[in-house]
Structures are given as structure tokens and as C-alpha cells.
Amino acid sequence: MNPLQRFTHVLLVRPHNLVGICRRSESILASKSARAVLKKDEKDVEVIPPLSQRTPEIPASFRFIYPEFLPNIDPKKRNYLSEKLERQDMMRRRTQLHIPEFYPGSIMAVTTSDPHSPTKTNRFVGICLYRGCPGLESCFVLRNHVDGTAVEIKYHMYNPTVRKIEVLRLERRLDDQLFYLRDAPAEFSTFPFDLDYQPHPEGAPIPLNETVVKLNPLPWTTRWEQYAFKGLVFDVNLPNWRSRRTPKTMAPHAWERFDLMKKYRKQIVLEDQEIAFKDVFEFNNGRFEKRKPKEK
């Protein structure tokens, strides 16, 4: 038995550690057809490819429109029954609350219940800095400057107190996280609460805002020079100990592009994506029905 056969044998006899590794080659080949959508810089395409050849009716854009339906990347936190029940709860919640498509960089308005407000509601407008977490824990962060004070609010998307989610300006930025706006001038994260709604034509590509933010002078809340963000620049003189460490930290290792297991651990295989997005596809086509409890 050669080393390759021995390695394959070890993977096949331990399926509890590496779920779906026996179909890994098929997943890689299937993901190539959707690469134009799965890569953010090539998302604006005329024809959206399917998620895989086995499910041609499910577009690959579901990966970005409904990221919360994807399971947790950590296999230790995976439970197929729990994931199925969470998807059902999330779809039931979507029958009561319209959750539009949005990305980090979109200008949004969220209305929540507030018992201490005279109108019993509270509406906040801001730019989306982050969207993440799987399942019912999915959340997003909005930022705005109110009366000269920076305000950030973290909303849980499926929280029952959320009454309305609006996207006033649908767009995306060069990065998936915009937390560096905390150390940027206030003009990049200041929006009026009476901002007019800008409609987005249905079927049109999502506009890319290529604004590059210039950070404030030191000190910063985070060492942003260690991250490969495309949407920020800085014109400051870093200390010697920070400038020497920056190139070493940002330079990728030469062996990472050959590490297939590292790539495998950072993504969800297409087989699991098909299971999740098939329920979403049936929900969008009106085939999802809320089961009523049986009367005793």
C-alpha cells in the first residue's frame, strides 16, 4: 500500500472526524462552476451559475444572500437535527419579518420594540459593519454618529423584538468587515436618520463601493496594519518594532496553497450547502407550511 492509499484508507475509516471527505474531490469540482459568485470580486456576473450540478435550480448566490443558513464550520459544534430545527424556526420567523438582502457596507434602518419609548418603538440608522454567526445566533452590527458620539448597536436578526429591517442603500465594500471605521474620521460613518430610500433594480448586480478610508493618527483600537484590508490606508509613522513585524505577519506562508485540509476546515462542503439551501428554495417558492400542533 503506497502512502496515498494509506492516507485515503485512514480518512475513510474515520468518518466521524472528517464528514464527507470521501466526496471531497467531487465538492472541489462542483465548486469551480460557482466560483464567479462565491468570490466577492467576481460577483457581478450576467448569468448566475447553480450551486452544483445536482441542484441546478438553486443559484450559487444563496451563499451570500442567506449566509446564516449555513452550518457552523467547527465540526465539534455540528448537529444535523439541531440544524434542521433551527432552519425551520428561522423560516417561520421570516414569515412574520421580512429580512432583505444586505451586505457589510449597506446603509440600513432597524426598528425594534422599546417599552421606554413614547412610541414603544426605536429606529436606528447606520452602516453595516459586520454580518456573521450561523443559525438563530446570526447578527449584524450598525454604526452611526449621533450628536457627535459614535454609536454601535448589535442586532440579532431573529430576535422577536426586531419589528422591521430596512435597507436604505444596498451596496457592498471591498472588505467583509468594516470595524476599522472606528479609527476613521466620523464622516465615513455618519448618516441622517431621515435618509431617503434608494431603490435597487431587481436582478441588477450589487454595486461595489470602492471607497478607501484613511485612518486617523495613532493610537488605534486595533493594529490594523497586520490585516490585509483593501479599504483602508494610513499615513502614519509606525514604531520600529511594529514596522518590522508587519511584513512578516501579512506575508502568507508558501505552503498554505497546498494545504487542502486547511481549506477544507474553512468552508462548508457543497453537500451540506445543498441540504440547507434546498429548504430555503422551497420556502421562497411557497412550499413551506407551518405545521400546526395536533389538538388533543
Residue type, 108: M
Helix axes 80-94, 270-284, angle to 10 degrees: 30
> Maximum Cα–Cα distance for the chain, whole Å?
76
Provide the residue range defining the domain that includes 25: 3-284
> What is residue 191's predicted lDDT score, i.e. its pLDDT?
97
Cβ atoms 108, 165 nearer than 8 A:
yes
Would you list the DSSP string of the chain?
--HHHHHHHHHHH-TTTSTTGGGHHHHHHHHHHTHHHHSGGG---SSPPBS-SS-TTSBTTHHHHSGGGSPPS-GGG--HHHHHHHHHHHHHHHTTS------TT-EEEEEEE-TTSTTSEEEEEEEEEEEE-SGGG-EEEEEEEETTEEEEEEEETT-TTEEEEEEEE--B-SSS--GGGGGS-GGGG---TTPPP----TTPPPPB----EEPPSSP-SS-GGGS--SSEE------HHHHHHHHHHHSPPTTGGG-HHHHHHTS--HHHHHHHHHHHHHHHTT---PPPPPP-
Q: Does residue 293 fall inside a structural domain?
A: no
Q: For residue 273, which of 28, 63, 94, 81 has the smallest C-alpha distance?
A: 63
Q: What is the per-residue pLDDT across 86-129, written as a single tens digit (0 to 9) for each?
A: 999 999 999 999 999 999 999 999 999 999 999 999 999 999 99
Q: What is the pLDDT of residue 59?
A: 87
Q: Cell numbers at residue 126, please?
A: 447606520
Q: Which residue has the cell 431603490?
A: 199
Could you give the CA distance from residue 158 to residue 173 in angstroms, rounded to a whole number? Answer: 24
Q: Is residue 289 part of a domain?
A: no
Give a yes or no: residue 292 inside a domain: no
Does a structural domain hold residue 124?
yes
What pLDDT sits at residue 242? 73
- With respect to residue 226, please indicate whether it lies within any of the assigned structural domains: yes
Residue 196 has pLDDT above 80, yes or no: yes
pLDDT over 80 at 54, yes or no: no
**pLDDT of 50:** 82
Closest by Cα among 119, 117, 106 to 195: 106
Query: pLDDT grade, residue 11 (50/70/90)?
Result: very low
Per mean pLDDT, which of 1-15, 143-157, 265-279 is the most reliable? Answer: 143-157
pLDDT value for 15: 33
**Does residue 203 or residue 272 have the better pLDDT?**
272
CB 80 within 8 A of CB 72: no
More confidently predicted of 53 and 175 = 175
How many domains, the chain?
1
CA atoms of 70 and 48, how far apart (whole Å)? 19
Which CATH number covers residue 170?
2.30.30.790
Task: Give residue 10's pLDDT band: very low, low, confident or very high (50, 70, 90).
Answer: very low
Considering the domain boundaries, does residue 291 fall inside one? Answer: no
15 falls within a domain: yes
Sign of the CA dihedral with 274 first, then 55, 16, and 267 last: negative
Could you give the percent of the chain with pLDDT greater than 70? 76
Tens of pLDDT along 230-288? 999 988 887 777 766 665 566 666 777 788 888 888 888 888 999 999 999 989 887 55
Cα separation, 19 vs 73, in Å, equals: 12
Indicate if the pLDDT at residue 12 is higher than 60: no
In this predicted structure, what is the pLDDT of residue 261? 84
In a domain? residue 159: yes
